[in-house]
Amino acid sequence: MKNYFPFNKNISSTHLIIVVAIFLISFGNIAFFSNIEKVYAVNLKNIGFLASLIIGFTGAIVLILSLLCYRHTIKPIMILILLLSSMASYFMDSYNTIINDEMIQNIVSTDIAESLDLLSTNLILYVLFLGVIPSYFIYKANIIFSSGWQEVFSKIKLFGLTLMGIFALVFAFSDFYSSFFREHKPLRYYANPSYYIFSTGKYIGSFFKSNTLTLQKKGLDATISTLDKDRELIIFVVGETARADRFSLNGYSKETNPLLKKEDVLSFTNFWSCGTSTAKSVPCMFSLYNTSEYNKEIIHSTENALDILQHAGVNVLWLDNNSDSKGVADRIPYQSYKSSEINTICDDECRDVGMLQNLQSYIDDHPQGDLFIVLHQMGNHGPSYYKRYPAEFEKFTPVCKTNQLEDCSIEEINNAYDNAILYTDYFLSKVIALLKQNQNNFEAAMFYVSDHGESLGENGLYLHGLPNFVAPDSQRHVPAILWTSVNFDEIDMNALSKNRDKKYSHDNLFHTILSFVEVETALFDKSMDIIK
């Protein structure tokens, strides 16, 4: 039995694989088994199935490690899996987050500042005890390999016996597994490390596939309507992580929109996002394709609404106080405002309102043609909501002043989140003020739409990123606010107010963006246009 002891320096490769699999099941899958227990209560009826699930999942990890770990790869692969699994465990245990391919894309595209927002004492402890310490013993272990073909036969034997054992368990409890695989698919998303390994493979495959696709040009027939005699100045604000139900314009009990309520704005109360992550929703917002047609490779290899505006001769600009445009602005003028060297309004972090500092100069420098400007907010990016607003906007207290949301009360989390909404209210009022300065020379409008929403502890869920079919409404029901100058004759705000409760989504934005500057193209679908 001594060869099975994990701290023994001499251990066979087969025994090490089994030990690591048992370790991952025992300490790295709290979220998985917690969610299992919510569906299959621990009782005499379910005890056999639950025991088979533990054994079967251990076997599945053994299969994964058997396929990945060989004489020269066993230590680096096991150490990498332990470190990644420790981080996955933290986010799943703390926030009920799942690590799917969209989340991996978010991780890859997240900048250093956003990554540091996620750093916490609990995360360090998870990585230390579930990742670093067991990795140290693997690093120091003297792994015994059989010679020649014996090692191959040993690996085949382990793989074959494990696979037969899994099949036997599934057959023995076929009724349970039938419902488990058919009706409770989301439970498998919490399986650590199998699901994030699968998702990583899926992400890498899609990444290489998209790089081989040729950019599909769209809307080359785009022109500005000959009936359009006035210049348009449109500021499209891409919000970040904002929930529709936290805007007092939509009936929220806290006054989170004291400035916007003084303006003649129209809030669309029934607006829904394409996805639950920035990486999916932002490209989707500007894409010709609907949510039901979403395909990351196709969307990223197809020109979007901003490209078509440029084809029509519109002056397009993207300003960003978030990580980046997620590929949307790859072919248009772009400027990041994440640095104090560019953004003149920075304290603990650079503020969204800093994106407005040089806009008047940009407008003045373009005396001809319509202007379409995108402002991508930092908004309510979590979990450090308390960092998303200056101190003077801390109206709702007490506030959660940590990124470890599990250490805060629901009230504290909500207050920090709502203060960030209050700052967005201020930011949007400044956007409107800028447009008012220019309404004598332009038909001016602001359209604000958030990329996705956020879970704030409801049913034990935090943050965002769940697949659409299991995501709660809080992650997909987003605010959408329209303001137009009094001289914007083509938009009848009184008529639009009758549709404020009509269901719209990101799918409508492609056609609405074209409509703002009266672009004519065969791609335009009048029935999808919100504003006219």
Residues 32 and 119 both lie in one domain: yes
pLDDT of 18 higher than 50: yes
Q: How far is CA 14 from CA 10, 65, 195, 432, in A?
A: 12, 10, 23, 66
**Residues 427/352, Cβ–Cβ less than 8 Å:** yes
Residue 111: the pLDDT is: 76
pLDDT at 152: 77
Task: Tell me the HSE value of 26 on the side-chain side, using a 13 A CA sphere.
Answer: 8
Q: In sequence order, which residues have a C-beta less than 8 Å from that of residue 482 and are 6 or more positions away? A: 265, 266, 268, 445, 446, 447, 448, 493, 496, 531
* Percentage with pLDDT > 90 across the chain: 78
What is the Cα–Cα distance from 68 to 86, expressed in whole angstroms?
19
Average pLDDT over residues 326-347: 95
**241/137 same-domain check:** no
Rg (CA), the chain: 26
- Whether residue 446 lies inside any domain: the answer is yes
User: Is residue 246 one of the residues assigned to a domain?
Assistant: yes
183 Ramachandran zone, left/alpha/beta (phi>0; psi -120 to 50): alpha
User: 179 and 46 in one domain?
Assistant: yes
Q: Provide the mean pLDDT of the chain.
A: 93
Which of the pair, 331 or 532, is modelled with greater confidence? 331
Highest mean pLDDT of the ranges 68-72, 114-118, 226-230, 273-277 = 273-277
- Give 454's DSSP letter: -
Average pLDDT rounded to a whole number, residues 404-433: 97
pLDDT in the model for residue 499: 95
Q: Are residues 298 and 343 in the same domain?
A: yes
Top-confidence residue, 348 or 484: 484
Q: What is the pLDDT of residues 507-529, one digit of tens each?
A: 999 999 999 999 999 999 999 99
| Same domain, yes or no: 183 and 252 | no
Q: Which residues of 21-37 are buried (b: 16+ CB within 10 A; e: fewer)?
A: bbbbbebbbebbbebbe
Paired strand residues for 12: 144
Specify whether 327 is located in the same domain as 179. Answer: no
Residue type at 353 in one-letter notation = V
H or E segment to which residue 335 belongs: strand 334-336
For residues 385-395, give the mean pLDDT: 97
Tens of pLDDT, residue by residue over 139-162, are 999 998 877 777 778 888 989 999
Please choose, from the candidates 165, 188, 155, 144, the residue with its C-alpha nearest in 3D space to the C-alpha of residue 65: 155
Is residue 444 within 8 Å of residue 360, measured between CB atoms? no
Residues present in the chain in total: 532
Residue 159 is assigned to a structural domain of this protein: yes
3 state SS of 145: coil
Q: Do 295 and 190 sit in the same domain of this protein?
A: no
443 belongs to a structural domain: yes
pLDDT per position as a tens digit, 257-284: 999 999 999 999 999 999 999 999 999 9
Cα–Cα distance measured from residue 389 to residue 299, given in angstroms and rounded to the nearest whole number: 33
At residue 105, the pLDDT reads 83
Cβ neighbourhood burial of 268 (10 Å; 0-12, 13-18, 19+): buried
Would you state the pLDDT for residue 8? 53
pLDDT at residue 210 in the model? 64
User: Residue with structure tokens 């739409």?
Assistant: 449
For residues 237 and 205, state if they share a domain. Answer: no
Between 385 and 459, residue with greater pLDDT: 385
Distance CA 474, CA 20 (A): 38
Query: Is 16 inside any structural domain?
Result: yes
Q: Which domain holds residue 106?
A: 2-210
**Which uninterrupted H or E stretch holds 372?**
strand 371-376
Distances in whole angstroms, Cα of residue 295 to Cα of each of 209, 305, 438, 444: 12, 17, 39, 34
Report pLDDT digits (tens) over 364-389. 999 999 999 999 999 999 999 999 99
Residue 29 has pLDDT above 60, yes or no: yes
142 secondary structure, DSSP code:
E
Average pLDDT over residues 427-450: 97
Is residue 476 a contact partner of residue 492, using CB atoms and an 8 Å limit?
no
Domain assignment present for residue 508? The answer is no
How much is the average pLDDT of 330-337? Answer: 97
pLDDT (mean) for 196-213? 80
Q: What CATH number did the domain enclosing 348 receive? A: 3.40.720.10
List, as own/partner pairs, every contact residues 348-352 make where C-beta atoms lie below 8 angstroms and the sequence separation is at least 24, other chains included: 348/387, 349/113, 349/378, 349/387, 350/321, 350/378, 351/321, 351/378, 351/390, 351/423, 351/427, 352/321, 352/377, 352/378, 352/379, 352/423, 352/424, 352/427
Compute the average pLDDT of residues 411-419: 98
| Number of domains within the chain | 2
501 contacts 270 by C-beta, under 8 angstroms: yes
- Look at residue 520 and tell me if it is in a domain: no
Residue 510 lies in a domain: no
CA gap 130, 24 in Å, rounded: 8
Higher-confidence position of 207 and 38: 38
Distance CA 511, CA 141 (A): 61
- Average pLDDT, integer, range 389-407: 95
Residues facing 111 on adjacent strands: none
Full-prediction pTM beyond 0.85?
yes
Residue 476 CA to residue 454 CA, distance in Å, equals 8
Q: Are residues 128 and 187 in the same domain?
A: yes
Whether 1 has a pLDDT exceeding 60, the answer reads: no
What pLDDT is recorded for position 117? 83
Identify the domain boundary among 469, 485, 501: 485
Query: Based on the domain organization, do 249 and 205 belong to the same domain?
Result: no
- Own/partner pairs, 312-315, CB within 8 angstroms, 24+ separation: 312/219, 312/222, 312/223, 312/224, 312/517, 312/519, 312/521, 313/223, 313/224, 313/369, 313/370, 314/224, 314/369, 314/370, 314/371, 314/372, 314/517, 314/519, 315/366, 315/369, 315/370, 315/371, 315/372
Task: Give the mean model confidence (pLDDT) for residues 185-207.
Answer: 89
pLDDT, tens digit, 9 for 90 and up, residues 92-127: 999 988 898 888 888 877 777 777 888 899 999 999
CA distance 299 to 328: 9
Instruction: Indicate if 173 and 237 belong to the same structural domain.
Output: no
Average pLDDT over residues 193-198: 94
One domain, residues 330 and 390: yes
